[in-house]
């Protein structure tokens, strides 16, 4: 019997049906300052225009400070393609909608560097759950393993420069 080994890093695919309901609730919570509260310190609403449909799309996403005044979103979701060549977006941050500029980073080396830095900051045991990935090795994945996962799984970074700053 052939054994298949899992890659060091894999994308986590959450179940679709429960997330549809959860995302509706999260969108409602984050849409007003009086409701955003604690959850708004880690989640925001990203407003993008569909590149084929032209429709306004809204996605709840987790963010963290990037260290340079921008916000960092880690993603492996298909919505990211709407940002290719279209940096003008809006965010609802702590219940307030603001214009923003998005920089989509899909270069595997840059993605691997950022993921590795974040994994090292929180420890490989806790990082996977926080980053939407599964780490299948008992250590911090190497740069090469993370770059290969970025290529295979579509891991990407989105840097958001929010007009009006973040409080």
Domain CATH for 94: 2.30.110.10
What does pTM read for this prediction? 0.89
Question: Is 19 contained in some domain?
Answer: yes
Cβ atoms of 134 and 7 closer than 8 Å: no
Give the pLDDT mean for 92-105: 96
Residue 147 to residues 66, 81, 85, 100, 144: CA-CA distances in angstroms?
20, 19, 22, 28, 5
pLDDT tens by residue, 28-77? 999 999 998 888 999 999 999 998 888 999 999 999 999 899 999 999 99
pLDDT of 16: 79
Question: Is 121 contained in some domain?
Answer: yes
Question: Is 46 contained in some domain?
Answer: yes
Question: Is 117 contained in some domain?
Answer: yes
Walk across the sheet containing 56-62 and list its strands.
Answer: 56-62, 43-49, 88-93, 96-105, 156-162, 71-75, 64-65
Q: Is the pLDDT of residue 4 over 70?
A: no
Q: Tell me how many domains the chain contains.
A: 1
> Which of the four pLDDT bands, split at 50, 70 and 90, describes residue 145?
very high
Question: Is 3 contained in some domain?
Answer: no
pLDDT of 44: 96
Question: Is 89 contained in some domain?
Answer: yes
Task: Tell me what the pLDDT averaged over the chain comes to.
Answer: 91
Q: Is the pLDDT of residue 1 over 70?
A: no
Question: Is 135 contained in some domain?
Answer: yes
pLDDT of 165: 59
pLDDT of 166: 57
Judged on CB neighbours under 10 Å (0-12, 13-18, 19+), 150 is buried
Per DSSP, the residues of 140-163 read: PPPHHHHHHHHHHH--EEEEEEET
- Residue 136's domain spans which residues? 11-162
pLDDT of 95: 94
Question: Is 77 contained in some domain?
Answer: yes
């Amino acid at each position: 019997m052939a054994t298949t080994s899992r890659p060091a890093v894999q994308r986590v695919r959450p179940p679709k049906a429960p997330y549809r309901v959860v995302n509706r609730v999260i969108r409602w919570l984050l849409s007003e300052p009086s409701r955003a509260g604690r959850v708004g310190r880690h989640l925001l609403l990203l407003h993008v225009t569909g590149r084929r449909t032209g429709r306004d799309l809204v996605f709840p996403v987790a963010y963290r400070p990037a260290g340079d005044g921008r916000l960092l979103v880690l993603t492996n979701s298909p919505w990211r393609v709407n940002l290719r060549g279209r940096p003008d977006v809006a965010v609802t941050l702590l219940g307030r909608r603001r214009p923003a500029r998005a920089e989509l980073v899909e270069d595997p080396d840059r993605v691997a560097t950022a993921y590795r830095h974040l994994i090292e900051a929180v420890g490989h045991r806790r990082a996977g759950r926080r980053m939407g990935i599964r780490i299948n090795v008992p250590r911090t994945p190497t740069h090469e393993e993370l770059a290969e996962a970025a290529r295979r799984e579509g891991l990407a970074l989105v840097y958001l420069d929010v007009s009006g700053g973040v409080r």
